[in-house]
Amino acid sequence: MSKQAITLTVNGVARQALVEPNQTLTSLLRDELGLTGTKHGCGVGDCGCCTVILDNETVNSCLVLAMQAQGREVLTIEGLAKGAELHPLQQAFVDAGAIQCGFCTPGMILSAKALLERTPRPSREEITKGLSGNLCRCTGYEKIVEAVQDAADKMSEA
Amino acid sequence: MLLPSFDYYHPQSLPEALSLLGEMGDQARPLAGGTDLLVNLKLKKLAPKVLLDLSGLEELQGNGTDEGLVSLGALNTASRLASGGPEVPGLLAMGAGSLGSPQVRNRATLGGNLVTARPAADICLPLLALGARVVLAGPSGQRQVSLDGYFKGPGYTVKEPGEILTHVLLDAPRPGVGGGYQKLGLRQAMEIALVNVAAHLELEDDGKTVALARVALGAVAPFPMLSPGAAQVLQGAPAGEKIFTEAAEAAAAEARPIDDHRGSAAYRRDMVRTLTLRALRQALSQAQGSKEEQA
C-alpha cells in the first residue's frame, strides 16, 4: 500500500502530509512536520516521552498510526508558548529546576497540562497519578511535582 | 522502534469490516486502541499483512440501558469506563482506572482488553465478577458468550478470527450490589498485577444476607478465572468477616498460580487469600452504601 495524504490540525494550524500505513504519529510529527519537540523514547508506550495531546486527551504518539490522526487535532510541546512567552508550566519547570537532560520534559509538561485542565488544584497524589505515564531518569520527580504545584498555583491566581 | 509494513483499512461499518475480515482471513488483524497490538507488531510477535482500524464503526460505540441490562460498546476507552457514569458499574470503573497509565487508558479499549485476554487484565476481571457476556459478530450473524467460558488461555479466547467483539452486556448497577477490586503489583502505575482480585456481592433486601457472589482471580491461572468455591461459601450466608475469611480460603485453594520471575506460586496463593478478603470487605461496604443511598 502506497503513501496516503492526510490532513490534520497541529498546534492550531491545518497541515497536510503524505504518510505510510506503518508510520506512527511520532514519526509524522518529527520526520514529516519537523516538530522534534516530541521525543521518541521506548517506542512501546512505557516511557511517555512521545506524549502529545490528541483531541484533548494525552496519548503515546508512538502507539498511534499517523493515518489515525486524519482529521484530528494534535497539540505538541511547540504549541504551548506564545511567542517568546513560555506557558506557565514551562516557566515553572525552568524555575524549579525540573529539567535536567530534558528528554522527558515535553511529555511531562503535556501530561501536566491535561491534568490541570481536569483538576486545576491537584493534590500531590493527583499529580503523581497524572504523571504516572511519564518516566524521568534524572530528577527523581520531586522537582517536577513542585513545578506542577507552582504552575497550578500561578494559573489559578491568574 | 519501527513497525513492520502492513496495509491499513479504515472500514466505516460493521458489515464492511466483517466482509474485509472474511476476505483476508488471519492475514488481517482488527485494530482498536493499539496499546497491545502495535506493541506486538513492533516486538515482531505478530506480522499481519493488514490492519483493520475499527474506530470508524458506529456499531461499536456508545452505551445504553434497556430493561435492567447495560450494553457497553467495545470501543469504550479505559478512561471513559474509569470516569464511571450511570451505566458503568463501580467495579468496572475501578479496574479500568488501574490499567496502565493515563496515556494508555486514553487509547486502550474495553474490546481490546477482552480480545487480548491477558491473565491479569484489569478490565476482564471486573467483568468476569459482574457476570458479563460478550457479543461477537461474525459472517453468519451475532452470538452471545458468557465470559465464564470465553477465555481459553493467555491471549486465546473462543472468538473466531472472522469475528469482531462488538459489545459487552451486563446487569445495570442497582442498590444492594457492590464490588471490590484489589491489585497487587510492585509499583502503583503501568503495572501488570502480580495478583488481582475482583469481588461482586448482591445482598438480599435485609442488607445482610448474600444473595449472589462472584470472585474473579487474576494472574493465578492461564486466564482470568472465577472461584466457584468462594461463590458457594458466600451464597445465602450473612455477609461479614467470618464468611469472607472462609471464602478467601476457598479462593486461595482454587487458584492455580505458577512460579515465575515476578513472584512464587506460594506467595501468589497467600496474596489471593489476602486480596479476596479485602475485595469482599470493599464490596460489602459499597453494597451497603448503595442500599442506604436508596433508603
Query: With helix as H, strand as E and coil as C, how does A51-115 read?
Result: EEEECCEEEEHHHCEHHHHCCCEEECHHHCCECCECCHHHHHHHHHCCCCCCCCHHHHHHHHHHH
The residues of chain B scoring below 50 in pLDDT are none
Q: Are B196 and B113 in contact (CB under 8 A)?
A: no
The number of C-beta contacts closer than 8 angstroms across A and B is 84
Partner B, chain A 75-94, Cβ-Cβ below 8 Å = none
- Helix A88-96 crosses helix A105-118 at what angle (to 10 degrees)? 120
Q: Which of B10, B55, B102 sits opposite A133 (nearest CB)?
A: B102
Check if B221 contacts A (Cβ < 8 Å): no
Q: What is the pLDDT of residues B149-202, one digit of tens each?
A: 999 999 999 999 999 999 999 999 889 999 999 999 988 888 889 999 999 999
Residue ending a domain, among B171, B189, B219, is: B171
**Is residue B1 one of the residues assigned to a domain?**
no
Chain A: residue nearest B40 by CA?
A44
Q: Which domains does chain A have, with CATH numbers?
A: 4-79 (3.10.20.30), 88-157 (1.10.150.120)
Residues B44 and B98 in one domain: no
Res B189: pLDDT: 86
Residues B22 and B76 in one domain: no
Query: What number of other Cβ atoms are within 10 A of residue A141's Cβ?
Result: 16
**Is residue B268 one of the residues assigned to a domain?**
yes
**Is residue B2 one of the residues assigned to a domain?**
no
Residues B207 and B233 in one domain: yes
Between CA A110 and CA A124 the distance in angstroms is: 17
> Distance from A120 to chain B by nearest Cα, in Å?
17
Contacts of B116 in chain A (CB under 8 A): none
Residue (of B39, B62, B176) closest to B108 by Cα position: B39
Residues B201 and B106 in one domain: no
> Distance from A53 to chain B by nearest Cα, in Å?
9
Residue A24, exposed/middle/buried by CB under 10 A (0-12, 13-18, 19+)? buried
Residue type at A132 in one-letter notation:
S
Mean pLDDT score across all residues of chain B: 95
Contacts of B106 in chain A (CB under 8 A): 57-59
Residue carrying C-alpha cell 459478530? B137
- Find the mean pLDDT for residues A12-28: 98
Domains of chain B: total: 3
**Is residue B277 one of the residues assigned to a domain?**
yes
- CATH number of the domain that residue B251 is part of: 3.30.390.50
Residues B132 and B210 in one domain: no
Between CA B97 and CA B191 the distance in angstroms is: 12
Residue A10 has pLDDT above 90, yes or no: yes
- CATH number of the domain that residue B80 is part of: 3.30.465.10
Please provide the distance, in angstroms rounded to a whole number, between the alpha carbons at the two ends of chain A: 51
Chain A: residue nearest B187 by CA?
A132
B94: containing domain = 61-171
Check if A37 contacts B (Cβ < 8 Å): no
DSSP H or E run through B21: helix B14-24
Contacts of A72 in chain B (CB under 8 A): none
Res B294: pLDDT: 59
Q: What is the ipTM of this complex?
A: 0.97
- CA dihedral (A122, A124, A125, A130) in degrees, to 10, reads 60
DSSP H or E run through B95: helix B90-97
DSSP H or E run through B79: helix B78-82
Q: Are B146 and B129 in contact (CB under 8 A)?
A: no
Residues B152 and B182 in one domain: no
Contact at CB, B4 and A57, closer than 8 angstroms: no
Residues B208 and B268 in one domain: yes
Contact at CB, B190 and A42, closer than 8 angstroms: no
Q: Are B21 and B164 in contact (CB under 8 A)?
A: yes
**Is residue B217 one of the residues assigned to a domain?**
yes
Residue type at A16 in one-letter notation:
Q
Q: What is the pLDDT of residues A71-112, one digit of tens each?
A: 999 999 999 999 999 999 999 999 999 999 999 999 999 999
Res B187: pLDDT: 84
Contact at CB, A44 and B39, closer than 8 angstroms: yes
- Find the mean pLDDT for residues A43-64: 98
Residue ending a domain, among B147, B171, B195, is: B171
- A113 pLDDT band, cuts 50/70/90, is very high
Residues B66 and B41 in one domain: no
